[in-house]
């Protein structure tokens, strides 16, 4: 085993955190019972927030971000994980309160790791990553609340992003009629290729509704935006239907009334993939692998190196990243 490895380390400066690639050793890593050789990580909206010092998600520096990782076990004192095992990690506040995947090695707690899903390479597992898990949990929640393919159109907001792109593809693969919302006209063909039958401009839903209740338009929704967009969507839901809310790119506040809930029986379903229980997490990954084979993930994935992460982190906050971005951790690049 090489004595040192590369990591993208955040240091707190006067005007916020600054990222730089540094050489570290195993002794620099935080506590944990499993040492992993990281092969791939990914870039998520939360990673963009962390790298740009937003949201107060990181309290202690220096810090290694990256909320997802896939790799191979190097050392383990946890009997569930043996050297050579292919594993992945998403959530558990890794990349926030514990050093994450933007390093060629990570020391982690065994409870946080699961076997890499069958049929996925490390790259493909990260092409899914937190975004794929979140999208699958959202779709499953809608299913559990009675949504079926014949119910009508299912809306996906923020459809060009990671969670949105995967939600569109999952819903289409499962036979739903999908309407996708995007703020970028150049992504219309991309969303149709993912399976959206209709693509709406962001402006149509970007402001709060003119009335507490609008015409019943949507049989279900995966909302990755929040804010006024979510308020608008709630007002236009069909009777007895549900919205799975899993993002806040459009704001954390929700200005609405109780009328959609009281007069139409709407359900607002909160989706959390960070602390999702292990049984639900494993079931979601299994269904994800069955529904979206690895080659389909390749088609919506862009690969970058560790040194490119800071620039892409700014772009993802500006809504300029389409689909999924995976981060390559070259084991021989030391």
Task: For residue 218, report the phi and psi dihedrals to the nearest 5 degrees.
Answer: -120, 135
Residue 110's closest CA among 27, 31, 6, 2?
31
Indicate if the pLDDT at residue 333 is higher than 60: no
Q: Are 138 and 222 in contact (CB under 8 A)?
A: yes
Using CB atoms within 10 A of its CB, is residue 317 exposed (0-12), middle (13-18) or buried (19+)?
middle
pLDDT of 299 reads 86
Which residue in the block uniquely carries the two structure tokens 């709630």? 234
Q: Of the ranges 68-82, 87-101, 215-229, 319-333, which one carries the lowest mean pLDDT score?
A: 319-333
Q: What is the CATH number of domain 129-270?
A: 3.40.50.720
- Please say if the pLDDT value at position 19 is more than 90: yes
Q: What integer is the mean pLDDT of 127-156?
A: 97
Of 176-180, 324-328, 330-334, the one with minimum mean pLDDT is 330-334
Region 15-32 average pLDDT = 95
If you classify domain 5-116+300-328 with CATH, what class do you get? alpha beta
Residue 269 has pLDDT above 60, yes or no: yes
192-201 mean pLDDT: 97
Give the closest residue to 136 by CA, choosing from 251, 326, 288: 288
- How many angstroms separate the CA atoms of 30 and 36, rounded? 13
What is the predicted pLDDT for the residue at 244? 98
Separation of alpha carbons 281 and 270, rounded Å = 15
Domain boundaries, the chain: 5-116+300-328, 129-270
Answer yes or no: is pLDDT of 330 > 90: no
Mean pLDDT calculated for residue range 169-178: 97
Give the pLDDT of residue 14.
Answer: 86
* 76 strand-pairing partners: 34
Q: Which two tokens stand for residue 90?
A: 């998403």
DSSP bridge pairs for 326: 42, 303
- pLDDT, mean of residues 186-208: 96
For the segment 294-312, the average pLDDT, to the nearest whole number, is 94
What integer pLDDT is reported at residue 219 of this predicted model? 98
236-247: per-residue pLDDT in tens? Answer: 999 999 999 999
Does pLDDT of 176 surpass 70?
yes
Tell me if the bond preceding 93 is cis, omega within 30° of 0.
Answer: no
What is the C-alpha separation between 260 and 114, in angstroms, rounded? 39
pLDDT at 334 over 60: no
Q: What is the mean pLDDT of residues 298-325?
A: 94
Q: Provide the pLDDT confidence category of residue 120 given band limits of 50, 70 and 90.
A: very high
* Higher local confidence (pLDDT), 214 or 15: 214
Distance, CA of 189 to CA of 194 (rounded, Å): 9
Q: Which two tokens stand for residue 240?
A: 């007895």
Place of tokens 């009328």: 259
The mean pLDDT value for 157-179 works out to 97
pLDDT band at 286 (very low <50, low <70, confident <90, very high): very high
């Amino acid at each position: 085993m090489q004595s040192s490895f590369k990591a993208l380390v955040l240091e707190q400066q006067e005007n916020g955190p600054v990222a730089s690639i540094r050489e570290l050793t195993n002794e620099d890593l935080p506590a944990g019972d499993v040492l992993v050789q990281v092969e791939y990580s990914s870039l998520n909206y939360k990673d963009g927030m962390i790298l740009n010092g937003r949201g107060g998600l990181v309290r202690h520096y220096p810090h290694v971000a990256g909320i997802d990782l896939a790799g191979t076990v190097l050392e383990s004192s946890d009997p569930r994980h043996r050297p050579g095992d292919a594993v992945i990690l998403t959530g558990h506040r890794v990349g926030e309160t514990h050093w994450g995947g933007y390093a060629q090695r990570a020391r982690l707690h065994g409870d946080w790791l699961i076997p890499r899903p069958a049929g996925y390479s490390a790259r493909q597992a990260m092409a899914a990553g937190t975004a794929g898990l979140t999208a699958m949990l959202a779709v499953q929640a809608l299913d559990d609340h009675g949504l079926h393919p014949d119910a009508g159109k299912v809306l996906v907001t923020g459809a060009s992003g990671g969670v949105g792109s995967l939600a569109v593809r999952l819903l289409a693969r499962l036979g739903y009629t999908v309407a996708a919302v995007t703020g970028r006209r150049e992504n219309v063909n991309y969303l149709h290729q993912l399976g959206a039958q209709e693509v709406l401009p962001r402006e149509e839903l970007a402001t709060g509704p003119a009335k507490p209740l609008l015409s019943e338009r949507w049989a279900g929704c995966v909302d990755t935006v929040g804010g006024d967009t979510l308020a608008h969507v709630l007002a236009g839901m069909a009777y007895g239907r549900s919205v799975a809310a899993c993002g806040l790119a459009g704001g954390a506040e929700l200005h609405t009334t109780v009328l959609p809930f009281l007069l139409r029986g709407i359900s607002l379903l909160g989706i959390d993939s960070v602390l999702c229980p292990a049984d639900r997490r494993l079931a979601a990954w299994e269904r994800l692998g069955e529904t979206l084979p690895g080659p389909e993930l390749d088609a919506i994935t862009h690969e970058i190196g560790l040194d490119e992460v800071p620039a892409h982190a700014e772009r993802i906050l500006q809504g300029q990243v389409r689909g999924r971005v995976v981060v390559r951790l070259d084991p021989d690049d030391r």
